[in-house]
Amino acid sequence: MSAGEHRSEDTSSHSGRHLDTPQADSRIAGTDSAPRRLCKRHTVAMVGLLLSLAGCMTQPPAPEVSGPIEVPETLSKVILPPLKAPAPESERRAQQRAESQRQPQVADTVDAEPPSDLWERLRRGFAFEDYDDPRIDAQLAYYVSHPNYLNRIAVRAEPYLYHIVEELERRDMPLELALLPIVESAFDPYAYSHGRAAGLWQFIPGTARMYGLNQDWWHDERRDVKASTRAALDLLTDLAQDFDGDWLLALAGYNAGPGNVRRALGRNERAGQPLDFFSLPLPRETRAYVPKLLALKRLVNDPAAFDLELQSIANEPHFEVVPVGGQIDLAHAAELAGMDSRELYLLNPALNRWATHPQGPHRLLVPRERAEDLRLGIAAIDPGDRLSWHRHVIRPGESLSIIAKRYGTDVGTLRTLNQLSSSTIRAGDNLLIPKASAPPSAYALSQGQRTAAREARFASDDNRREVRYRVRSGDSFWSIARAHEVSVAEVTRWNGMAPGDTLRVGRELLLWLPQAPNVQPAVASLCADSACALPEREAEVRRVGYRVRSGDSLARIAGRFGVTIAEITEWNGINPARHLQPGQSLVLYVPVTGTL
């Protein structure tokens, strides 16, 4: 299965997108239990909640890699009879997590001197046993043959790794889990997979919301260093409890979804086969995912055995959390702290805009040596200097959404700041609007600047030209890509999106087409005339037979293959109002260069 394939049997949170390779520096213990590993019935009730697990952008060793697994709608609606538990499931889990955080630490040894190097601290807290398996050897061979990869990872990990280790030790969790962001995101806080997963721990939107990570116009807490680490460790704790403390199965569940792991356990149990991770018939990506972590553990544990030298990371905090008391312009905050705005964003990657979120959290992570400067600056700042303001006179025909878009803010902020009880406004009234105090370049890694940098990177290619395309009703990534003779992966990459993202009618997409295009002239100007049709180019697609599975819908199949519902119904002569039946055969025409 290729990196863009979807499996509809269960949820997978992970995309399999490669984020670090030697060619492109962007990405790459369990206990042996018996059939009791097939969790008690009450834990199955969590399936519906955990089926949307955190996403992953794996680094691409040679062996097995595959794409995200879709969530069957039927599984997300499973309702089981309540048990005699005294508290709801969510309260039980919260209590269990709180108790685990009060337990003695894994690495609580009698060492007289703490290690000066963070890698050594990790080694002392490793708890998984050593496993022998060809899959681990294959991943190990990849890492050993690409020594620069681990050095790049060490540079990226330095600001975050100490905090992760601290949290794991506080919860008495194995320190091998501190290496998981290497597998997930290559320690890139801005990593975004084609499965819509984001951040160091690669949460997809649904799971993020379940674990308390807010996502809106101002910020995306999936990228927040502290919040996402808390959520990831909560999720891993829940999975470990569901699988009777078997961390390898918990990790498999983090990648493939616990439903997939349960079904694999059930198949092996019925066949009288072993129930350990290495014996389970798991998805292809997951069979490589856990061995990657075990290979990294082996390398970190004894790098000299592989003729490697890990770049040292000091065993001390890299950042401090400084309360800022309210919304503040990030260029101003960087100036108060005496630091570069890029470094400020890297420690606060959740922030999308030029200021912190108006509703909080009202704090910033800054390097330890800059924390006191920021504290003093915040204490001395005039409240009116936190943000710059503009007084806008409402014109006829304007709405709050139009005004918010013009000034780079959101409707909620305008309503709050101007004490509006609704979104109704009158021409001639004044609105107080916060605005950036510095030019865009002062907000180095805001969403706008990241987009601009991506566009500039493509614009530097003399062999390509820029084309702006406005999305029309019925469009899909595939139809747009096919019309312009590019791939879906290219269209989504150019626009910082994922194939699963919703295309809104009217949205403008940026396309970088060859200077000497081999598309038809009518396509090159696609759709200056909104009535023009997409050209049919049979040579660019292949005919695929698809058998409907339980839980499938037209929308799900269309999303998986990057086509529209209308196209599927036309190709198969079916009524879109009628339900699909498991086993029903469909004919699909999918792009050869797509993301299957």
Three-state secondary structure of 341-376: HHHHHHHCCCECCCECCCCCCCEEEEEHHHHHHHHH
In this predicted structure, what is the pLDDT of residue 586?
85
Q: Read off the pLDDT of residues 454-484 as tens digits, 9 standing for 90 and up.
A: 666 666 666 777 788 888 888 888 888 877 7
**Higher per-residue pLDDT: 476 or 515:** 476
Catalytic annotation, pick one of 9, 176, 184, 320: 184
DSSP state letter for 508: E
* Confidence at residue 456, expressed as pLDDT on a 0 to 100 scale: 66
Selection from 25-29, 48-52, 172-176, 190-194 with the highest mean pLDDT: 172-176
Q: Is the dihedral of CA 231, 38, 52, 154 positive or negative?
A: positive
Question: What tens digit of pLDDT does each residue of 23-57 get?
Answer: 334 333 333 444 444 443 343 334 334 433 434 44
CA angle 474, 476, 481 (to 5 degrees): 130
Distance CA 561, CA 558 (A): 5
Q: What domains lie within the chain, and their CATH numbers?
A: 35-107+116-306 (1.10.530.10), 319-384 (no CATH), 388-436 (3.10.350.10), 447-524 (3.10.350.10), 538-591 (3.10.350.10)
- Proportion of the chain above pLDDT 70, given as a percent: 73
Question: Would you place residue 7 in the very low, low, confident or very high pLDDT band (cuts 50, 70, 90)?
Answer: very low
Quote the percentage of the chain above a pLDDT of 90: 40
* 498 has pLDDT over 90: no
Kindly list the distances between the CA atom of residue 487 and the CA atoms of 47, 122, 519, 566, in Å, as whole numbers in the listed order.
35, 42, 13, 21
Distance between CA atoms of 450 and 369, rounded to whole angstroms?
27
pLDDT digits (tens, 9 = 90+) for 92-116: 555 655 554 444 444 444 455 889 9
Q: Which of 7-16, 206-215, 586-595 has the lowest mean pLDDT?
A: 7-16
Mean pLDDT of 371-378: 95
Q: How far apart are CA 177 and CA 122, in angstroms?
A: 10
The mean per-residue pLDDT over the stretch 533-544 comes to: 42
In sign, the C-alpha dihedral spanning 58, 64, 65, 69 is negative
Average pLDDT over residues 127-154: 92
The answer for residues whose C-beta is within 8 angstroms of residue 502's C-beta and 6 or more apart is none
Average pLDDT, the chain: 76
pLDDT the model gives residue 531 = 32
Q: Considering only 204-213, 279-288, 433-442, which range has the smallest mean pLDDT?
A: 433-442
Neighbours of 43 (CB within 10 A): 19
pLDDT of residue 111: 52
Question: Annotated catalytic, 184?
Answer: yes
Q: State which of 50-54, 200-204, 430-434, 470-474 shows the largest mean pLDDT.
A: 200-204
- Which residue's entry shows tokens 């805001």? 446
pLDDT tens, position by position, 221-267: 999 999 999 999 999 999 999 999 999 999 999 999 999 999 999 99
| H-run or E-run covering 267 | helix 258-271
Cα–Cα distance between 256 and 265 in angstroms, integer? 13
